[in-house]
Chain A
Amino acid sequence: MGGTASKLPKDLLSEYQELTFLTKQEILLAHKRFSELQGRENGPYSSRVSMEKVLTLPELKSNPFRKRICHVFSTSDLRDGSLTFEDFLDLLSAFSDSATLEIKSHYAFRIFDFDDDGTLDARDLEKLVNCLTGETDDTRLTVEEMRQLISNILEESDIDKDGTVNLSEFQHVISRSPDFVSSFKIVL
């Protein structure tokens, strides 16, 4: 345990303030929480915390998109969803109060893109809806309802009618929804 505020050097702190949307207090709090996850003191800013440990955070524990969030923000070569402290800061910055709509919609798109191919096709949408309604069998929609829902979604948001929702179309839908910025928020 360690990771007190004095462990984070001032120049690094100001650099993080420049590069993210977080305030100084938020960065220090994030540092504290991340150190608790790490469980020991070490060369701080490049060591990784495994995805299982990250998912024990109360803010992420019951989020249905938690695994996708970790995958999106992870810079690990093994693609195992592990996060460094800087990845963690990136995560908090994108989910912070002062992040812009563009950043939030960009990351939301990547989180919803379950197969990481750059567009939301019908399979991504199906997995997304399953996350929203619950993963167990008695909480899913029926096949017929899913089909109807996905065709409705594509009809509304697929402007160029190619069968998938790309980033611009997604951002267009998001921009018309006034509550997105306040609901796409995680605060420690």
Chain B
Amino acid sequence: MMELREFNNQVHPTPDYPSPYGSQHSLRLRTVPPQETSAVQFDWASPPEDAEDSNEPPNLRELPLHMGLKRAVWQVQQMKIPVVSSSWNIKQSQTFRRFCEVAKHVLSYFVLWKRGIQKIGGHFGGGVQSYFLFLRFLVILNFLSSLLIAGFVLIPSIVFRSMNFNSTIPTTVNLTGVEICLQYDPKPDTLMVFITYFLDLISGTGFMEYSYLFYGYYTNFNSMVESNGFSYNIPLAYLLTAAFYFLFCFICMIIRMGGTARVAVVTGGGATGGYSALVFTGWDHGLQEDRTTKLKQSNFRYRLQVDLEEERLKKKSASLTLSQTVSLYALRVFLNMVVLILIGATFYGIAKATQFSQLMKTTGFKGLVLQYLPSMVITASNFVVPLLCDKIALLEKYSPSTTVILALLRAVFLRLVSLGVLLYTLWEQITCEGDISKQNCIPCNYYYDEYKCWETRVGQEMYKLTLFDFLITIATLILVEFPRRSVSVFVCVRSYISILKMYVFNLFFGMFRIVVDHCSCKLTQWVGRQEFLVAPNVLALVYSQTVVWTGALFCPLLPFINTIKFILFYFCKKITLFQNCQPATRNFRSTTSNFFFLLVLLFGWMLATMVLLYSVTKIHPSYGCGPFRFSPTMWEVVPQAAEMLNSTSAEFLFYMGSQKFSIPLFIFSCVLLCYVSALTSVHGKSVALLKSQCKLEQRDKQFLVRQIEELNATVQKEQREPQQPQRETDTATRWNQHDNYAFDRDEDPRPY
């Protein structure tokens, strides 16, 4: 075996190891001819065909040599710079690189929570860290969006309102027959009890309703300041800001997905490689504590054992009989139906709750509960149904990774579509099921009696959803996760007496924690330190963000509220992570899951965009409130504004919006997509070709080696006695005929 390896390396020397390695015992290096060693050190210097200045200093860092050698190389390189112009080029690139480094360093000071997230990654691994990175991304996104909205909509409104402009009714609008629709009086009572104040705060009614928080407060200030000739079209600004906000979020998501997608596509989704990838890349060198390291090691062992066990079982039961396969598939179909029925029942429940809460009109605490009914039903279903789905998934007997993905998909489906059901129910009521000729919708094109200002109502619903989500998360933290650690103390039978004593004499949480940490009672471990489950937490974030996007048009301050909410989430989740949780036992493939989470966020964004487009183009804005009250749809302000430009720009804009432009653009992007995917498949095929070529070459090599051995054997046979060479040939040929590797049964596993 040793000879074959030597032979291998003589034919294909790995030129990567420099000479400082050379004084070691390796046989291989002694056989490497000297000029190859020197070629290793100065290989960079003169490949003759490489005349351009690509051998710049940046390549120096990428040499796997130690510092002394790199310095020598550098010095030689410095001496070799011949021409003035090329040295100027090199100097320029050097200064540019230094500038980039300085800029990167300065920018790194502005990275939010850098140290905190690094610490989390060190203690809990990449999976949990990816959740916090996602949270940080959303915080920054929301913050920038709220700056955008504040700058273009909020501040101008404040300015104009403080300058006491009156909103004017444009003369072009015909308002006969719809006078009743203009009545909208949300001004709160001047006398307010504290409880009313509090109720109004959390349900967005009363004094909160007629404020900058909701759509209804903004008016169509379009008036010009005569002296300056300055005009600011608030309705147009409102609409375009909303559109730009969506576009901005989309671009940010796409950019972030681009990086992860590139990696995921190149590495084939991370699912290939299996054992070798796990063993070679599985260790996280950033882990720093002994306890974490031991935990990670036991996770590794657990995972390897489980995977090996699965493989053994799979091999054993490779042949399922026909009846077993059929019954398994029948079981899966049945369970899928059960899941669908469960989800359908949830949707029905949400629809009914929404209808009920919209139509009931009680005040006080009962009214508050009724108002929050849809949120409560949605949250309850988001707790209960995924749990049931998990249990069902266990019965379905998929492989573990498929189970996880299925569970995530079902949870995502549930969350986003439950939001969709809520919106659908609202729409049903506001627009009288889309039929504006119905009794309730006759004068105003929307259900005037109930929804005097329907945009504000929708905004209020989204505001309530956001707030409720936040309260539930905080409540879960305080009421479930912290006590769970201390409750588990009482479950451990073995140390019950000592616990009692501790409880009596020490009332500090810290002591409970010590007991929990060191109690190895099985039950304690089950109830005790819980895992920080990344996937459900990320889905919660995606859901919140979707709610914010949906509500942004109707509640302009919602992104700002969401920024604060997510910042508080960061601190609360961090505290609960360090106090209550242990690192996960399941290895979490952070990169592919990052991509998946961004994809789900994109789905949420698409849902919100559909809502936006529909409400902007189809539903008549309220007559009584808001900046669009006198247009037939919200979209109308844009063509009206475009018409006021000069004719060339107006024509250009109308052309861009027409089909003559969009259809060729669409066709062009399809062609581009086909080209890129064809390129990808070609690359994949060439990789496969090269791999098989490698295999063929090795087979040729083995054939040649066999020939040499046989030749050797015949030569030696002529020189020696009959028995000895016979035995040698036998062993040699027997070894060579094996295609298997190290654990040859005939060979001693420790040969030397």
Contact = CB atoms under 8 A, between A and B. Distances in A.
Contact of A133 (B292, B301, B699): B301
Interface string A166-186: 111010011111111011111
A186 B276 contact: no
Interface residues of B, number: 87
Contact of B288 (A59, A79, A156, A184): A59
Interface string A141-153: 1000101111111
A132 interface: yes
Given A103-B64, A134-B301, A166-B14, A61 B290 contact: yes
B184 interface: no
A18 to B, nearest CB: 6
Given A19-B61, A23-B105, A145-B304, A185 B742 contact: no
Interface residues of A, number: 86
B742 A163 contact: yes
A120 B288 CA distance: 27
A137 interface: no
Contacts of A174: 280-281
Residue among B74, B281, B312 facing the most chain A CB atoms (10 A cut-off)? B281
A139 B293 CA distance: 13
A63 B280 contact: no
Contact of B66 (A63, A90, A119, A151): A90
Contacts of B28: 117-118
Contact of A182 (B17, B126, B695): B126
Contacts of B301: 133-134, 139, 141
B666 to A, nearest CB: 32
A15 B71 contact: yes
Interface in B481-525: none
Interface stretch (B262-270, B470-478, B619-627, B639-647): B262-270
A75 B300 CA distance: 32
A185 B281 CA distance: 12
Contacts of A165: 276
B102 to A, nearest CB: 9
A9 B592 CA distance: 45
B68 A75 contact: yes
A21 interface: yes
Nearest to A133: B301
Contacts, number: 230
B694 interface: yes
Contacts of B25: 116
B21 A116 contact: yes
Contacts of B105: 23-25
Contact of A154 (B1, B62, B741): B741
Contacts of B293: 62-64
Contact of B273 (A90, A107, A164, A176): A176
A161 interface: yes
Contact of B74 (A18, A23, A79, A170): A18
A73 to B, nearest CB: 7
Interface stretch (A33-41, A48-56, A122-130): A122-130
A20 interface: yes
A43 interface: no
A78 to B, nearest CB: 11
B649 to A, nearest CB: 47
B304 A125 contact: no
Contact of B275 (A103, A152, A160, A183): A152
B569 to A, nearest CB: 23
Contacts of B23: 77
A145 B305 contact: yes
B298 A150 contact: no
Contact of A62 (B71, B289, B311): B289
Contacts of A59: 288
5 nearest A-B residue pairs (beta carbon): A122-B742, A160-B698, A86-B67, A163-B741, A178-B591
13 contacts: A15-B71, A19-B61, A62-B293, A63-B287, A102-B62, A133-B301, A150-B742, A151-B741, A156-B276, A167-B16, A178-B592, A183-B286, A187-B118
Interface of A: 15, 17-21, 23-25, 58-59, 61-65, 73, 75, 77, 79, 86-87, 89-90, 93, 95, 99-100, 102-103, 106-108, 112, 116-119, 121-123, 125, 128-129, 132-134, 139, 141, 145, 147-154, 156-168, 170, 173-180, 182-187
Given A129-B279, A133-B300, A139-B298, 20 more contacts: A20-B67, A116-B21, A116-B24, A123-B750, A139-B301, A150-B743, A151-B742, A152-B276, A153-B279, A156-B276, A157-B273, A170-B280, A176-B272, A177-B267, A178-B270, A179-B126, A183-B282, A184-B285, A185-B285, A185-B286
Interface of B: 1, 4-5, 8-9, 14, 16-17, 20-21, 23-29, 57, 60-62, 64, 66-68, 70-71, 74, 101, 104-105, 118, 126, 263-264, 266-268, 270, 272-277, 279-290, 292-294, 297-298, 300-301, 304-305, 308, 311-312, 589-592, 691, 694-695, 697-699, 701, 739-743, 749-750
